Amino acid sequence: MKTTADDMGFDKTTGPAAEMYCADVSNKESRQTWIAKTGDEVGLKYGGKLIHVCDVLVHPEGYLTGQIRGFGNYSASEFSGLQIGQTISFHHVHVFSLTAAD
């Protein structure tokens, strides 16, 4: 399925399935592999700028959707035609950062 991120030419990660590697080094936690799932918050990139997306929903067809929460360090409500609160569709390869849901 072609997503909003595909249509707009969002940046893509390289490597297998855009896996996120996270570790809490203060607790000597070993490195873990994370893949975005329903409820997570993710960071996408558009033109090198970070787009924060919350309320991620993984669809059975293999794409994800979520609501735009913000634009990197900018306090603007709009960036390059995207707006805070807008629902956006994307694939795992568009995910650059991940905050797992509780």
pLDDT digits (tens, 9 = 90+) for 46-61: 988 899 999 999 999 9
Whether 36 shows a pLDDT value over 70: the answer reads yes
For residue 96, the surrounding DSSP H or E stretch is strand 95-99
Does the CA dihedral 20-76-4-11 come out positive or negative? negative
- Whole-number pLDDT of residue 17: 42
Locate the domains of the chain by residue range.
Answer: 4-99
Whether pTM > 0.85 for this model: the answer is no
